[in-house]
């Protein structure tokens, strides 16, 4: 019996060894697909990260970046996130998701639609969300650290206005009185439901003849919310939005837009002329702030890179 047991041991041992080898090979495959390319203060950037960021930059910037450009971008992102952690700055998933949704909305898409569009280009939505998280963290860090040097003086604003002659370029703007109208679409609804709501919104848009009669009619429609009046000036709006409102007759509806809540339009109830001297000053102040912020951010990033341990594999 003892001899029989001993005779069984070599085959059993061989099977165990074979199982370990198979497991090692299986585990080794994903690791090979995600080899570490760079270490930044002990945190890895993988070949998968580089591949994803390359596709992301190709999709969003419409260019073919070099591998080194992509690596530099990822190193900067790592440093931004790391300094945020050092200052115990936590960016929640909700903040990231809200920013992601806002970006989708500006492109007239839902979050899910943008995720699908990214996937079609071979980009995981997590790649974009990683960039968003780093940017939110970085902006808060730079604003907090260099708050005193980011103060814009009135004297600088006036000098910029005189240089660019913004007041001569545009001295008249408008004040817009708007009523948002939302055709509610429950979250997770199929595309067919969204399309049906779009058709209903277009039908309202075609027959809308003024806020006095059009708003009560809209309010009576199924699952439609007419929201409180809002007032915006030309200075409050991006040029693209201002153009849309300037091209919309008073008493009519803007083109529809798909949001996370449904299909939205705006009724332009009134539009009146106003002076834009204040708008020009605000725009000049924002440009000066952006210039100073960018200068401080780049300087600080160079400091972080000098003190970082960056190891290329």
Q: What is the pLDDT of residues 60-111, one digit of tens each?
A: 888 899 999 999 999 999 999 999 999 888 888 999 999 999 888 888 888 9
pLDDT at 223 over 50: yes
Span 278-299, average pLDDT = 83
Higher pLDDT, 89 or 226: 226
Give, to the nearest 10 degrees, the angle between helix 191-207 and helix 211-219: 150
277 pLDDT tier (thresholds 50, 70, 90): low
The region of weakest confidence among 64-78, 82-96, 166-180, 181-195 is 166-180
pLDDT of residue 276: 54
Domains within the chain, CATH numbers bracketed: 38-148+292-312 (1.10.4030.10), 174-272 (3.10.50.40)
pLDDT > 60? residue 266 = yes
Distances, alpha carbon 199 to alpha carbons 36, 44, 205, 219, 234, in Å:
50, 49, 10, 17, 30
Q: Which residues contact 49 (CB under 8 A, 6 or more apart)?
A: 37, 74
Q: What is the average pLDDT across 154-162?
A: 74
pTM above 0.75, yes or no: no
CB within 8 Å of 291: residues ≥ 6 apart: none
Per-residue pLDDT band at 172 (split at 50, 70, 90): low
Query: Is pLDDT above 80 for 2?
Result: no
Q: Taking residues 191-207, what's their average pLDDT?
A: 93
Q: Is the pLDDT of residue 271 over 80?
A: yes
What pLDDT score does 286 carry?
83
The pLDDT of 104-129, averaged and rounded, is 90
Question: Is 35:47 a contact under the CB 8 Å cutoff?
Answer: yes
């Amino acid at each position: 019996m003892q001899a029989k047991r001993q005779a069984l041991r070599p085959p059993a041992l061989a099977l165990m060894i074979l199982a370990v080898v198979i497991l090692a090979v299986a585990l080794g495959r994903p690791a090979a697909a995600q080899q570490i390319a760079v270490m930044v203060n002990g945190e890895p950037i993988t070949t998968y990260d580089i591949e994803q960021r390359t596709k992301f930059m190709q999709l969003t910037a419409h260019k073919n970046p070099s591998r080194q450009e992509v690596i530099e971008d990822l190193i900067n992102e790592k440093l931004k996130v790391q300094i945020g952690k050092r200052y115990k700055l936590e960016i929640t998933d909700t903040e990231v998701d809200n920013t992601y949704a806002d970006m989708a909305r500006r492109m007239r898409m839902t979050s899910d639609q943008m995720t699908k569009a990214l996937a079609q280009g071979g980009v995981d939505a997590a790649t974009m969300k990683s960039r968003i998280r780093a940017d939110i963290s970085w902006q808060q860090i730079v604003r907090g650290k260099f708050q005193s040097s980011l103060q814009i003086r009135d004297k600088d604003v006036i000098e910029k206005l005189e240089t660019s002659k913004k007041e001569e370029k545009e001295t008249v703007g408008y004040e817009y009185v708007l009523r948002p109208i939302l055709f509610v679409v429950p979250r997770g609804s199929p595309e067919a439901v969204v399309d049906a709501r779009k058709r209903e919104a277009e039908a309202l848009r075609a027959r809308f003849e003024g806020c006095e009669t059009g708003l009560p009619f809209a309010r009576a429609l199924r699952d439609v919310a007419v929201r409180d009046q809002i007032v915006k000036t030309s200075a409050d709006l991006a040029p693209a939005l201002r153009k849309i409102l300037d091209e919309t007759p008073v008493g009519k509806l803007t083109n529809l837009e798909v949001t996370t809540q449904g299909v939205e339009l705006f009724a332009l109830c009134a539009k009146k002329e106003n002076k834009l001297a204040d708008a020009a000053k605000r725009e000049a102040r924002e440009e000066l702030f952006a210039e100073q912020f960018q200068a401080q951010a780049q300087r600080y990033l160079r400091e972080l890179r000098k003190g970082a341990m960056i190891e290329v594999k």
